[in-house]
C-alpha cells in the first residue's frame, strides 16, 4: 500500500551486533568464534581475583617478596607464575596503611590489572564511579560501605593503558600463624581495588 508503508528502524541488540561482527570475521577466514571461546574461558577461569589474593598473602608472610613486589610488580608476580599481558608494561602495587587508603579507577574506560584482580565489575566501568571517585572519593567510598575517619588520607590512582595498579590491603589483626592459603582466602576483590578494607583494619 504505497503511502501507508512505514519503515521502522530498530537498533540491533548487543548480541545481534556481536553475531554480525563474528559472521563477518568468519566469512573472511578469521576464527573469531574460537578466539571468543578462548578469551571467555580465560576470563572466567584464569583472570580471577584469587590471583591478587595469593599475591597479597605472599607479601604479608614474606617481607623480601613484599619489597620486590613494591619495587617491580611485574617481575614479582611473574615469580608466582602470574605473567601479565605485554601491554601491561608496569604493575604498581599500592600499600595501604592505617592512615592511607589507595583506590584504583580508570577515568577513561575500564582498564585494570584484570589478570590479577579479575575483569572489572560493572560499577567500575560506570561513568558515575569513574568521575566521582576522583572528585569526591570520601563520599563515594562511604556510599560503597567504606566509611573512613577524616585523618585517613585517600589517594586515587588513574589507570593508563600501560600502567596497572593493585592495592595491597593491610593484614587483619589476629591472623598470626595463618598459612598463605588461609590468608589468601580472606582477601576480597574490592580490597584489591581499594573500595573496601578487610575486617579489623
Region 114-173 residues binding Fe ion, contact defined as CB under 5 A: none
How far is residue 82's CA from residue 62's CA, in Å, rounded to a whole number?
17
Name the residue number minimizing CB distance to Fe ion: 111
Work out which of 53, 93, 105, 111 binds Fe ion, going by CB under 5 A. 111
How far is residue 173's CA from residue 154's CA, in Å, rounded to a whole number?
22
- Is 179 catalytic? The answer is no
Shortest reach from residue 66's CB to Fe ion, in Å? 28
Query: Which is catalytic among the residues 40, 109, 131, 179?
Result: 109
How far is residue 59's CA from residue 200's CA, in Å, rounded to a whole number?
18
User: Burial level of 102, CB count in 10 A (0-12/13-18/19+)?
Assistant: buried
- Residue 165's SS3 state is strand
Shortest reach from residue 111's CB to Fe ion, in Å? 3
Query: Which is catalytic among the residues 110, 131, 137, 191?
Result: 110
Work out which of 30, 39, 100, 109 binds Fe ion, going by CB under 5 A. 109
- Is 111 catalytic? The answer is yes
Shortest reach from residue 169's CB to Fe ion, in Å? 22
Site stretch for Fe ion (CB under 5 A), options 30-38, 42-50, 109-117, 123-131: 109-117
Per DSSP, which regions of the chain are E strands?
A: 90-95, 100-105, 153-158, 163-168
> Hey, which residues does 155 pair with through a beta bridge?
102
106 binds Fe ion (CB under 5 A): yes
Of 62, 53, 59, 73, whose CA–CA distance to 198 is shortest? 53
- Is 105 catalytic? The answer is no
- Is 110 catalytic? The answer is yes
SS (H, E, C) 55-102: HHHHHHHCHHHHHHHHHCHHHHHHHCCCCCCCCCCEEEEEECECCEEE
- Of 105 and 184, CB closest to Fe ion: 105
Site string for Fe ion, 19-58 (x = CB under 5 A): ----------------------------------------
Query: Which is catalytic among the residues 106, 137, 179, 191?
Result: 106
- Of 102 and 112, CB closest to Fe ion: 112
Active centre residues (catalytic): 106, 109-111
Can you give the binding site for Fe ion, defined by CB under 5 A? 106, 108-111
Amino acid at each position: 500500500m504505497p503511502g501507508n508503508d512505514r519503515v521502522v528502524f530498530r537498533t540491533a541488540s548487543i548480541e545481534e551486533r556481536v553475531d554480525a561482527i563474528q559472521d563477518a570475521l568468519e566469512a573472511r577466514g578469521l576464527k573469531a568464534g574460537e578466539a571468543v571461546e578462548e578469551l571467555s574461558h580465560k576470563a572466567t577461569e584464569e583472570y580471577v581475583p584469587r590471583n591478587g589474593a595469593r599475591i597479597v598473602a605472599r607479601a604479608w608472610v614474606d617481607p623480601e617478596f613484599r619489597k620486590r613486589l613494591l619495587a617491580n610488580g611485574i617481575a614479582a608476580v611473574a615469580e608466582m607464575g602470574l605473567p601479565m599481558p605485554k601491554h601491561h608494561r608496569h604493575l604498581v602495587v599500592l600499600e595501604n596503611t592505617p592512615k592511607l587508603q589507595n583506590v584504583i579507577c580508570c577515568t577513561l574506560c575500564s582498564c585494570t590489572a584484570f589478570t590479577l584482580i579479575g575483569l572489572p565489575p560493572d560499577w567500575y566501568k560506570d561513568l558515575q564511579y569513574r568521575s566521582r571517585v576522583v572528585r569526591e572519593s570520601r563520599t563515594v567510598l562511604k556510599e560503597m560501605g567504606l566509611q573512613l575517619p577524616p585523618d585517613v588520607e585517600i589517594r586515587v590512582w588513574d589507570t593508563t593503558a600501560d600502567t596497572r595498579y593493585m592495592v595491597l590491603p593491610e593484614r587483619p589483626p589476629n591472623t598470626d600463624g595463618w598459612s598463605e592459603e588461609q590468608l589468601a582466602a580472606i582477601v576480597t576483590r574490592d580490597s584489591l581495588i581499594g573500595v573496601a578494607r578487610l575486617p579489623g583494619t
